Structure 1
Amino acid sequence: MKLKNTLGVAIGSLIAATSVSALAQGQGAVEVEAFGKHYFTDSSRDVQRDGELYGAGISYFLTEDVSLGLSYGEYHDLTSQDPVGAGGHKNIKGSLTSLDATYHFGQPGVGLRPYVSAGAAHQSIGQADRGGRDSSTFANVGTGVKYYFTENFFAKASVDGMYNIDANEGEWMAGLGVGMNFGGSTRQVAQVEPTPEPAPAPIVDTEPEPEPELVRVELDVKFDFDKAQVREESYSDIKNLADFMQQYPQTSTTVEGHTDSVGTDQYNQRLSERRAQAVRDVLVNQYGVESQRVDSVGYGESRPVADNSTEEGRQINRRVEAEVEAQVR
């Protein structure tokens, strides 16, 4: 019961931590989680097919999609299958330490992210019919789904298959967990005081009303090679576009992502979509432009504006573009 109470405190702490300022998901992020799993043992050991594994883990994101994680859990409610001596069924204690690589599908951010995993584990567990502990090495495969309620807080459901290499037997677990994601690219944007609008000139009744004038704001954001993170120096340009759209609420725009020609067409198409989505997220989530007024699209490497055979040309082609027009009098 002590471990269950500790787990409850950990879960409560994770939920309370959602009030902390959000840090972006992505490469370099760290996830911590608490979990509980139902453990189905193999039949050759003198253990009932009933038990729970409670524990916690920590993962580091090598890329936006791939993480490497270490977890530790302790078994509870495991008993011997047959009575042991006059004491009846014996309570069996044990622990499981796992190292797993996980690939996440979908885009980082709020919403659903399925995943698959593979790795290895070390199990130390008591023996029902004789003293001491039994140690085994497992090969793990798993699948599951995470739902991110915010950029930081998520819940997960999982199914894990475990192959006991030493005993040549298979086992499996099914579980639930909650966790926190933090420590990705921290965004620190300087607060710029808005320039006050000049007072409008008085209108003289004897003068004709001026003809409408078309004004335009264009955006050109550059990206590092094979990256979809918005550079720090690009935030001021994105803010200018957001301020213009806030001033003219009838406007809308489409954010267009592009890549250079390095890599496959399929990979570059996905990379261009991620770049466009990253700029859209800054406009909507950071600068308050309504989401229905901003679309995003990726064109991959299909629309170069410079020579992809040179480094200078490829740098120019790694971009996101957008423009907004409005008629003013």
Structure 2
Amino acid sequence: MKLKNTLGLAIGSLIAATSFGALAQGQGAVEGELFYAKKFNDSVSHVEDGRVPGISLGYFLTDDVSVNFTYGKLDHTRSNDGTGNQKIRGDQFGLKSQYHFGTVGDAIRPYVEGGVAHGSQTNVAADGHTGRDQSTFLTTGAGVKWYITNNLYARGGVEADYKLDNGKWDYQALVGLGVNFGGNGGKVAPAPAPAPAPEPVAEPEAPVAQVVRVELDVKFDFDKAVVKPNSYGDVKNLADFMKQYPATHVEVAGHTDSVGPDAYNQKLSQRRADAVKQVLVKDGVAPNRVTSVGYGESRPVADNATEAGRAINRRVEASVEAQAQ
């Protein structure tokens, strides 16, 4: 089968794979990629720079480390300087390991890589010899992956190949498009819901205490964790209530809508809860009386399918009860 047919089949597979909602990044994930490279040749004399379309298949041993098998279709031209102007084609197989920086769920993840490759090029009837040029290379490189969704990513990078036969280097710049599926998604278990406080039991002869309550519901802009000025008054009311009843403690619970990766939303909800805690502390509440917890997108109160519902879900909630004097 010609390479272009193989690439066409692979592209179709990439598009089909992105339709599976269960696909995820992280440990245990598989990445399949199509790439195209511009190769700058220095290891073979009288050969001009070429191009290398190819495919890569990788497996994540951890959330950050992957092992990748690569195949590239070499395409060069021997320069017309007395050696003959000829097309030179071949294959290059590689085994590499990539280390990814950042955390699972980040949109941008830089990486570094290293490994070994073996190349074989077609017969060149020039310089008094015939036969295929077969060489082994040590390879290194760096680049960045942009996760457009949880499962679809684009890659750009540079690589350098050291030819063991003659101690010379080849270089290439490449771009790629791939899918990522089958991993654990880097998910962490959500924080357990706090156990409800037991209801106070009054002695039969004692008068029933009056319970007073204050609640807080702070809304946030999309992808933001900054308390808006129009919510300062509501937060201050909660702070004043807690200063009036110094035995009270509060949990401020952060939430997000469903847009974006789960791991990113978990962190965003924690930042929102921390932001409200900071305002409470600034208003005079002791830090050890406030617990901030992020619940990510796991506890929606409205329909995430609508913009109005998502705006309601981008929130921080709190509720405090006390017995009136």
Q: TM-score, normalised by structure 2?
A: 0.59
Structure-2 change in CA distance of 1:18 and 1:75 (3 Å): same
CA shift in 2, pair 1:23/1:134, >3 Å: same
Look up the match of 1:326: 319
- Report the secondary structure of 1:11's partner residue: helix
SS in 2 for 1:184: coil
Q: Please tell me the residue identity of whatever aligns with 2:161.
A: M
**Which residue is equivalent to 1:118?**
114
Label 1:286 to 1:173 Cα distance change in 2 as closer, same or farther (>3 A). farther
User: CA shift at 1:211, angstroms?
Assistant: 5.5
1: distance between equivalents of 2:270 and 2:4? 42
- For each residue in 1:59-110, what CA deviation from the matched residue of structure 2 results, as whole angstroms up to 9, or x when unmatched? 111111111111111112x11112678xx62111111111111100111115
Q: Is the 8 A contact 1:22 1:151 kept in 2?
A: no
Percent identity of equivalent pairs: 41
* Structure 1 unaligned residues grouped into runs of 5+: 190-209, 217-250, 256-272, 295-323
Unaligned runs of 5+ in 2: 190-209, 217-250, 256-262, 272-293, 302-309
Q: Name the stretch that deviates more: 33-42 or 178-187.
A: 178-187
Matches within 5 A, 1:1-329: 2-4=2-4, 6-42=6-42, 44-49=44-49, 51-76=50-75, 78-82=76-80, 89-128=85-124, 129=126, 130-185=129-184, 212-213=212-213, 252-253=252-253, 277=267, 283-288=295-300, 292-293=314-315, 325-326=318-319
Give the drift of 1:137. 0.9
- Secondary structure of the equivalent of 1:284? coil
Q: 1:286 to 1:211 in 2, by over 3 A?
A: closer
- 1:156-188 deviations in Å (ceiling 9; x for gaps): 00100111011110111111101111111289x
Distance in 1 of aligned mates of 2:183 and 2:269? 17
CA RMSD of aligned residues (A): 3.7
CA distance in 2, matches of 1:6, 1:107: 33
Task: Mark the CA change 1:278 to 1:99 in structure 2 (over 3 Å): closer, same or farther.
Answer: farther
Matched to 1:58, the amino acid is: L
Name the structure 1 match of 2:258: none
Aligned length: 223
SS in structure 2 of the partner of residue 171 of structure 1: strand
Structure 1 residue 47: deviation in Å? 1.2
Q: Secondary structure of 1:10's partner?
A: helix
Using the alignment, how far apart are the partners of 2:114 and 2:56 within structure 1?
A: 15
Indicate if the aligned counterparts of 1:110 and 1:150 stay in contact, CA closer than 8 A. no
Letter matched to residue 78 of structure 2: S
Structure 1, residues 259-298: CA drift from partner, whole Å, max 9, x if none?
Answer: xxxxxxxxxxxxxx99x7499699434544768536xxxx
Aligned to 1:243: none
Paired residue secondary structure (2:14): helix
User: Could you say if the C-alpha distance between residues 150 and 285 of structure 1 is closer, same or farther in structure 2, counting changes exceeding 3 Å?
Assistant: farther
Counterparts in 2 of 1:115 and 1:134: CA distance versus 1, 3 Å? same
In the alignment, the residues of structure 1 paired with residue 215 and residue 148 of structure 2 have an alpha-carbon distance, to the nearest angstrom, of: 39
Letter in 1 for 2:91: S
1:215 deviation in Å?
8.7
Please tell me the residue identity of whatever aligns with 1:167: N
Q: Would you say the 8 A contact 1:96–1:124 is kept in 2?
A: yes
> Which secondary structure state, in structure 2, belongs to the residue aligned with residue 93 of structure 1?
strand
Equivalent residue number for residue 227 of structure 1: none
* Aligned residues of 2:253 and 2:295 also touching (Cα < 8 A): no
